């Protein structure tokens, strides 16, 4: 948790210094961009691990900034889909070099840098990425 907080704070400082939106915005913009047909807010909630009320506020801010547009969900009159706007795509792309450079500075010269591939594999294992779904525990 401490390491995660240090990395996050370093990235947040770098984004702020560059006059860019906060890291939560990047994560949301990235996930929405990965769904070119649009993404439902509840699917975004699952991917971002944010509580519903926090996600609702984040989406409202992204819409107000002009980075995300809401649209109807086909076949579901009550549902909505979120889409990235051109401005959202542009700001997400502008954020990545700052984000990536902050990560590089944070890990440069540390043991984590030399073991990055191993660290990534361990973290993927913890999140279950790359493994087949497990049956539920009875």
- pLDDT tens for 57-70 read 999 999 999 999 99
Residue bearing the bigger pLDDT, 69 or 4: 69
- Is residue 132 included in any domain, yes or no? no
Number of structural domains found in the chain: 1
Domain limits for position 111: 2-123
Residue bearing the bigger pLDDT, 63 or 137: 63
- Is residue 49 included in any domain, yes or no? yes
- Is residue 85 included in any domain, yes or no? yes
Cα–Cα distance, 87 to 124 (Å, whole number): 31
Do the beta carbons of residue 44 and residue 60 sit within 8 Å?
A: no
pLDDT at 13 over 50: yes
- Is residue 51 included in any domain, yes or no? yes
- Is residue 138 included in any domain, yes or no? no
| Model pTM above 0.75 | yes
Do the beta carbons of residue 130 and residue 124 sit within 8 Å?
A: yes
- Is residue 128 included in any domain, yes or no? no
Do the beta carbons of residue 6 and residue 103 sit within 8 Å?
A: no
pLDDT confidence of residue 134: 47
- Is residue 12 included in any domain, yes or no? yes
pLDDT at 74 over 60: yes
Indicate which CATH number applies to the domain containing 37.
1.10.10.10
The candidate with the shortest Cα–Cα distance to 28, out of 65, 74, 3, 71, is 65
Q: Which residues, 6 or more positions from 11, have their beta carbon under 8 angstroms from its beta carbon?
A: 23, 99, 102, 103, 106
- Which of the four pLDDT bands, split at 50, 70 and 90, describes residue 108? confident
- Is residue 91 included in any domain, yes or no? yes
DSSP state at residue 40: -
């Amino acid at each position: 948790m401490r390491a995660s907080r240090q990395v996050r704070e370093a990235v947040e400082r770098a984004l702020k210094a560059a006059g860019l939106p906060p890291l939560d915005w990047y994560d949301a913009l990235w996930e929405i961009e990965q769904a070119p047909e649009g993404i439902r807010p509840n699917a975004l909630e699952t991917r971002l691990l944010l509580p519903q009320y926090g996600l609702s506020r984040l989406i409202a801010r992204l819409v107000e900034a002009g980075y995300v547009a809401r649209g109807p969900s086909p076949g579901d009159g009550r549902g909505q889909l979120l889409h990235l706007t051109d401005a959202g795509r542009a700001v997400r792309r502008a954020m990545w070099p700052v984000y990536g450079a902050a990560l590089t500075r944070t890990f440069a010269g540390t043991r984590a840098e030399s073991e990055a591939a191993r660290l990534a594999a361990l973290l993927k294992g913890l999140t279950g990425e790359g493994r087949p779904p497990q049956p539920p525990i009875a």
